[in-house]
Each structure stands twice: as C-alpha cells, then as structure tokens.
Amino acid sequence: MGGPALTPLPERLADCLKVREPAAKVDCVHGLYADWQAGRVDVAADAARTPVDRPGQPDRPELVPPDKVPRRRADTPAGRAALVHALAHIEFNAINLALDAAHRFAGMPKDFYADWLKVADEEARHFDLLAAHLGTLGHAYGDFRAHTGLWDMARKTAHDPLVRMALVPRVLEARGLDAAPLIVAKLKAAGDTRLVEILGIVERDEIGHVAIGSRWYGWLCAARGVEPEATFRRLLVDYDAPPLKPPFNLAARRRAGFSETELAWMAAVSEAERRR
C-alpha cells in the first residue's frame, strides 16, 4: 500500500496567497512549509497554474500612495508605533511576494521552490514578531495607513523570473539591508531593545533572502547566456526601479551576493546623482 496522496505545491501556494487575514496567512504558510519539509507536498514544477494577481488582503490597513503614510520616527511612542507598523506591512507583503515567486514561475528546479518556501516561512515569522511588538505599543496591524509599493513591483516583474529575481530581492529587499543600521541606531537611542533584537533577526534572514535572489538571478542569466552585471544595470533603467541611495550596507550586500564591481558601480552612480 502506498502512503497518503501528496498535495500539489501550486494548489497549496494559491491557497495561501488567497488568504486575507494576516494570522490565518501566517498559519497557512507555516503549515505549508512544515508539510513541504515532511515530504507531503508534490513540487509539480511543470504543472499549469493560474497566477493570483491580487493576493488576499485584510480590510485594514487602508492602502494609500507612499507620500500619504504617517511619519515613522523612533524617538516618540507614536512615531515608533508607525515605524513598527510600516515594517510589519513590508513583511506581510514579503510573504505574498515569496509565495508568488514559487507559484507564478513554472518549470524551475525543485531547489527554487524550496528556497522561496523557506523565505515565505521566515517572512511570516518576521510579521508575527513585529505584530506582537506593535501590540506592546498599544496598536495592531491595520491601525495605520500603508502603501502598495512592494506589490506594484511584483506586477511589473510578473512575466519573467529573471526580472523578478533582479528587481525584488536585489533591489527592494536590498534597500531594506541598507536601511537597517540607521533604524537600529535610532532605536538604540530610544531604548527599544526588544525591537533592536527583532530587527537583528530580520536582517540576518533578509541577507539570506537577497542571497537567494542573487543565486537564482545568476542561474537564470547563465541559462540564457546573458552577462549578469550589465543586465542588472539595464533592468534598473528599463523597469524604473527605485534609485540607488547611500549609505549602502556593504557588508550585508557582500554576504547577499553583490560583487565588488557591482558595489563600486553603485557607489559611483549614487555619487554622480549627489553632484547633479
């Protein structure tokens, strides 16, 4: 007699993408990753799938343009709550981005799906940590307005895994690595040691997430016979990616797969922009 039937990975991913409530989405992701690790999920890498272009979102927070979100300062209780809420919102969107990477792009190696399931599981853990800390500040996820910038880039890169790997992990998430030391310094000054601890966990994992993006970006470039660094620079322009802004977290970016020539180019571009 055979064992229990395996559930297809695309179906499980779609189910989690469609979940609206944050706590239920977190539970769905953790359950999927546990089943994946236990061998209860069929990768079904070549299976046809219908993209989930609008993943489930809770009724709150209200989504607005980036310039309409509240100020996020670390030196006042209200500002720190707004900051934690913004970070939690980033992580909630990052769950959907990781699920979407694994769901949308058929025909990739099994390790690709394993990597993005791991990322989704870690993003869900980050959201839980930040949401819990937000509760200690007298607020809950949804209390502040938030923006849709992360998912906007997911839509722009939905047609090609190479473009997705270049512009979501290696641009958007890498910007988070750059911001982390500045935020942590402000939180230390404000005395929020628990949030500093949480952000240490987040930064450690996010380096790994950007490294996963770098790995698969390099793999796809090699498979297509294109030069990765020149292609990356071209994609930044073609897709109107957010501008490169120093200071760069060079140590984190090196660990995440950026080459020395890339880092030197980024520094030169940002310096040229500063002088304009």
Tens of pLDDT, residues 179-227: 999 999 999 999 999 999 999 999 999 999 999 999 999 999 999 999 9
* Predicted local distance difference test score (pLDDT) of residue 3: 55
User: Looking at the domain assignment, is residue 9 inside a domain?
Assistant: no
Contacts 24+ apart (CB under 8 A), 192-198: 192/74, 192/80, 194/133, 194/136, 195/80, 195/84, 195/133, 198/126, 198/129, 198/130, 198/133
The distance in angstroms from the start CA to the end CA of the chain is 72
CA distance 83 to 85: 5
- The average pLDDT across 235-253 equals 93
- The average pLDDT across 53-61 equals 94
User: Looking at the domain assignment, is residue 120 inside a domain?
Assistant: yes
Tokens, residue 135: 């509760």
Question: Is 276 exposed, middle or buried (CB count within 10 Å of its CB: 0-12, 13-18, 19+)?
Answer: exposed
Band the pLDDT of 4: cuts 50, 70, 90: low
CA distance 85 to 201: 17
User: Looking at the domain assignment, is residue 63 inside a domain?
Assistant: no
* Predicted local distance difference test score (pLDDT) of residue 66: 80
User: Looking at the domain assignment, is residue 252 inside a domain?
Assistant: yes
User: Looking at the domain assignment, is residue 139 inside a domain?
Assistant: yes
pLDDT at 130 over 60: yes
Q: What is the CATH number of the domain that holds 95?
A: 1.20.1260
User: Looking at the domain assignment, is residue 77 inside a domain?
Assistant: yes
pLDDT at 1 over 50: no
Q: Write out 186-210 in H/E/C secondary structure.
A: HHHHHCCHHHHHHHHHHHHHHHHHH
Tally the domains of the chain: 1
69-90 tens-digit pLDDT: 877 778 888 999 999 999 999 9
Reported as half-sphere exposure (CB side, CA atoms, 13 A), residue 183 has a value of: 23
pLDDT at 137 over 90: yes
CA distance 212 to 31: 22
User: Looking at the domain assignment, is residue 86 inside a domain?
Assistant: yes
pTM (two decimals): 0.95
Let me know the angle formed at the C-alpha of 134 by 63 and 186, rounded to the nearest 5 degrees. Answer: 95
pLDDT at 135 over 90: yes
88: β partners: none
Provide the residue range defining the domain that includes 96. Answer: 72-275
- The average pLDDT across 134-142 equals 97
7-20 tens-digit pLDDT: 999 999 999 999 99
User: Looking at the domain assignment, is residue 190 inside a domain?
Assistant: yes
